[in-house]
């Protein structure tokens, strides 16, 4: 069995056995940690970036335990997984309490874009494209 298969199985097991929760971290400290750890570089300032996390878009955000498991497994079990660009976060570099704070902050992200018709410039571009 590969490390990826073991990791995926562990995530599925934890997900199935733990209900979706709100987390135990502190949102204010989480915001600071999110910026200190440069999470915004990939996940954006409000969870919309190269890797979206707003609205719990990632299965890793199903609950706090899965989030921590993902961070730790990335560092401990799959540090060279070539399909991932997420930094490695062992507990020695990102303590559990700080990770929980980041998780709590991420849960505040909401992706609620306006309707196209509510963006005049975009609507004008679309209207111009239809006439050509």
Task: Give the start-to-end residue ranges of the domains of the chain.
Answer: 3-131
Instruction: Quote the tokens at residue 33.
Output: 């940690």
State which H helix or E strand residue 15 sits in.
helix 3-17
Residues 39-48 have a mean pLDDT of 92
Is pLDDT larger for residue 64 or for residue 20? 64
Residues 49-76 have a mean pLDDT of 87
SS3 83: coil
Q: How confident is the model at residue 25 (pLDDT cuts 50, 70, 90)?
A: very high
DSSP assignment of 84-131 equals --SPP--TTTS-HHHHHHHHHHHTT----PPPGGG-HHHHHHHHHHHH
Q: What is the pLDDT of residues 75-118, one digit of tens each?
A: 555 555 555 677 778 889 999 999 999 999 999 999 988 888 88
Q: What is the CATH number of domain 3-131?
A: 1.10.760
């Amino acid at each position: 069995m590969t490390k990826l298969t073991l990791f995926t199985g562990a995530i599925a097991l934890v997900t199935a056995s733990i209900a979706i929760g709100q987390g135990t971290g502190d949102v204010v400290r989480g915001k600071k940690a999110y910026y200190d750890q440069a999470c915004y570089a990939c996940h954006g300032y409000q969870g919309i970036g190269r890797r979206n996390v707003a609205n719990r878009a990632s299965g890793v955000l199903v609950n706090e335990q899965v989030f921590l498991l993902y961070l730790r497994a990335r560092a401990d079990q799959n540090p060279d997984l070539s399909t991932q660009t997420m930094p490695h976060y062992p507990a020695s570099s990102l303590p559990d309490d700080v990770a929980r704070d980041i998780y709590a902050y991420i849960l505040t992200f909401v992706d609620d874009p306006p309707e196209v018709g509510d963006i005049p410039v975009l609507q004008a571009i679309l209207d111009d494209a239809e006439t050509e």
